[in-house]
Amino acid sequence: MPRLVPVAVPVPFLSALTYRVPDGMPVPAPGVRVRVPLGSRQVTGCVLPGTAPDNSAGGAELRELVECLDFDPFLPPAVLDLTAWVAEYYACGPGDAVAAAMPPFAWSRGSAAGVPAASAFKTVRTVRLSQAGGRIALNGPPASLGPRQRGALALLAASPAGLTTTELAGYGIAADCVRRLASRGLVEMERRRVERDPFAAADPAHDAAGAGPFELTAEQQAALRSLTAWTAEKRFRVALLHGVTGSGKTAVYLQLAGHVRRQGRAVLVLVPEIALTPAVVGAFRAACGARVAVQHSGLSDGERHDQWHRIRRGDVDVVVGTRSAVFSPLENLGLIIVDEEHDASYKQEESPRYHGRDVAVMRGKQAAALVVLGSATPSLESYHNASQGRYERVVLSQRVLDRPLASVSVVDMREEVAEHGPDAVLSTALQDALSARLSRGEQALVLLNRRGYAAAVLCRQCGRTVDCPNCSVSLTLHRQVERVRCHYCGYAARRPAVCPHCAGPFLERVGFGTERIEREIAGLFAPAKVARLDRDTARRRGAVQRLLRRFARREIDVLVGTQMVAKGHDFPAVTLVGVISADVGLGLADFRAAERTFQLLTQVAGRAGRGDLPGEAIVQTFHPGHYSIEHACRQAYEPFFEAEMRFRRGMRYPPLLAMVNVVVRADTFARAMEEAAGLAADMRGARGGYEVLGPAPAPITRLKGEHRAQIFLKGTRRRPLRAAVQAALERRPALRRRVTVDVDPLTVR
């Protein structure tokens, strides 16, 4: 009987492939990496669980494994099971899902029979005394040794574990001196593995500020009692921890994690942004010690590799990270925390298009663990699940120390523009409030969820904007570097002197972004120290952490930024939050626009008044009557939820229905629409109890040089939707690589 194994290879959209195990090679276990032939090349794959189909009966020739790269499974069974669910749920290939779970270097390095073939671990050359060298160092070195050699022996005698060649060089002991000692048999050299430390640049005093010691409020204690009781059951359960901003959710997380660790079980903590990890990791390291690992893309590949292997070896029992950390190879998982569970950053925008929160819920189910979803502004999906009894709901309605929520006032920018002209950016109320705070030595945050200096460059002669050559969007002006940029494809060019359409010299700026707000505030309130936090200022590694630490040390008076400033930060000296263009997202062709606006405004207002002084938020908008803005200003979640659900119910949108977005890309718009029409016809013909909408032009009809058409599928169950899409694509295999399938889409563009 042939020995066959299913293998996932990191090739998009490709199903598992069947390979024959050659004679003399043990059958590799699921999770083992193997080298396999694929076309004319060899690639690294991962053996999957289950039985591989024997395709040779249909005339296909089965190819053999080339080699096994691991003696034991590289990916543990729990992670393999999770990737199998991701591949099925998000309609992607198993190789895509397995790749999301692999650490850096995993596809190119391995070990056969436990012997490293090409280790990705960092090593250093270490020198230590040999037995002969030890005797000489003890009895006194002979006169034939020079002073440097005698000094080296003395240093090594004081360091039984040895010293690196770099350390010896610091004492003036050159490599040539070490080689001469080695040639006489007095020292031995070896390579020692060292772990790359992602915490080396941490600021423990700042990063662990939320770790305590602290005394829980009555509400926190009640929440903790419920959550700890559920962990004791050691079965799957999901709890929505709905706590207002500043209510102390992190303190509950820390206490709960300590309880689970004392049970001998592991803890996984997800945060939405890399910028939030230092504070959360610092708090957990202060509370739990060194058995804490971190996983996110802001680390170097080497650091991520080493941290992953720490987890795999069982050297840690708490992992903190962004969405990809959900695949961490933790054993005996007892608790998963998803902080700021509503945040759109948990959704991955390339294959596999998974949502970290939803994958975390499935991982909790597979591990029989408690999953805690924490937020002041829960997603409609999570709150709906809680209202339907699928999730437990735990409420923290009060801030710690009975601090009041920030008072919120709304500025109607229509009146400001009527009085001060179309260039009005900072309202009189916000200017006065900033002046008062700065005079008292307090701090302020100013939010505008749009970066750059101007949203577009407009020609007054022909009326056209300077557009991206690859995408159907206007280029954004970045004045600091005098360039225009596309925020979708990355195209950039020098700021034009004349219109590229008509060569007219009358170019003017339209709209504004964070760069302009920073300049306006710096100009109005000199010598106040003003800084900006957005993707442009956060490009360099560690830039976000350095800026936030400066703000925490009060070296910055006003911090201007995009949504990065709105999430999870705790700055006690911030007493004012200003929101510029609160309605900037309401004009998007996206059914979640109102939800995002409500969440962003509520979250950023919650950054004010977290210390001893009361806080204030000033919200500037051209749509003061919009229900998302009205309810956010009142910090009223339940009324917003009811209003938004009425809209979703009337339009048949999630969470009441499931949705799949299918985008077809082509070299011409006509071809994209034609191919999308064929797909839509096939899907409608399946008669699966769902509706198919489209095709229609995508909101951004041209993106990165490709024209785009989209189709929506809506239904009460996801399985028929996925099946219809996959069946239609199987009939058009040549089209598959130009189609994006997004299950439970968060954005529509």
Q: Model confidence over 464-520: pLDDT tens digits?
A: 999 999 999 999 999 888 999 999 999 999 999 999 999 999 999 888 899 999 999
Looking at residue 446, what is its pLDDT?
95
Looking at residue 58, what is its pLDDT?
57
The topology (CATH level 3) of 216-277+289-298+320-402 is Rossmann fold (3.40.50)
In the block, residue with structure tokens 């008076």: 557
Q: How far apart are CA 521 and CA 531, in angstroms?
A: 10
Neighbours of 183 (CB within 10 A): 9
State the helix-helix crossing angle for 669-685 and 718-730, rounded to 10 degrees.
Answer: 120
What is the domain class of 658-743 according to CATH? alpha beta
Q: How far apart are CA 522 and CA 530, in angstroms?
A: 6
Q: How far apart are CA 249 and CA 596, in angstroms?
A: 21
Cα distances from 229 to residues 29, 64, 339, in angstroms, run 38, 52, 20
Residues of the chain with pLDDT under 50: 111-117
Q: Which residues touch 89 (CB under 8 Å, ≥6 apart)?
A: 354, 362, 718, 722, 743
206 close to 164: Cβ distance less than 8 angstroms: no
**What DSSP line would sit under 548-617, residue for residue?**
HHHHHTT--SEEEESGGGTSS---TTEEEEEES-TTTTTTSS-TTHHHHHHHHHHHHHTTSS-SSS--EE
What is the domain class of 407-453+512-648 according to CATH? alpha beta
Q: Residue 123 pairs with which residues in a beta bridge?
A: 193
Q: Is 0.85 topped by the overall pTM? A: yes
Type of residue numbered 656: L
Looking at residue 566, what is its pLDDT?
82
Q: Which residues touch 76 (CB under 8 Å, ≥6 apart)?
A: 31, 312, 329, 331
Q: How far apart are CA 433 and CA 325, in angstroms?
A: 41
The topology (CATH level 3) of 4-116 is GIY-YIG endonuclease (3.40.1440)
Looking at residue 312, what is its pLDDT?
95
Q: Are strands 237-243 and 370-375 parallel, antiparallel or unpaired?
A: parallel
H/E segment holding residue 471:
none
Neighbours of 701 (CB within 10 A): 18
Half-sphere exposure of 344 (CA within 13 A, CB side): 14
Neighbours of 590 (CB within 10 A): 17
pLDDT digits (tens, 9 = 90+) for 344-383: 999 999 999 999 999 999 999 999 999 999 999 999 999 9
Domain borders along the chain are 4-116, 122-194, 216-277+289-298+320-402, 407-453+512-648, 658-743
**Measured at the alpha carbon of residue 10, what is the angle toward residues 6 and 12, in degrees to the nearest 5?**
105
Q: Residue 17 pairs with which residues in a beta bridge?
A: 7
407-453+512-648 shares the fold of 216-277+289-298+320-402: yes
312 close to 77: Cβ distance less than 8 angstroms: no
729 close to 739: Cβ distance less than 8 angstroms: yes
The number of residues making up the chain comes to 749
390 close to 238: Cβ distance less than 8 angstroms: yes
Q: Report helix, strand or coil for 273.
A: coil
Q: How far apart are CA 659 and CA 691, in angstroms?
A: 10
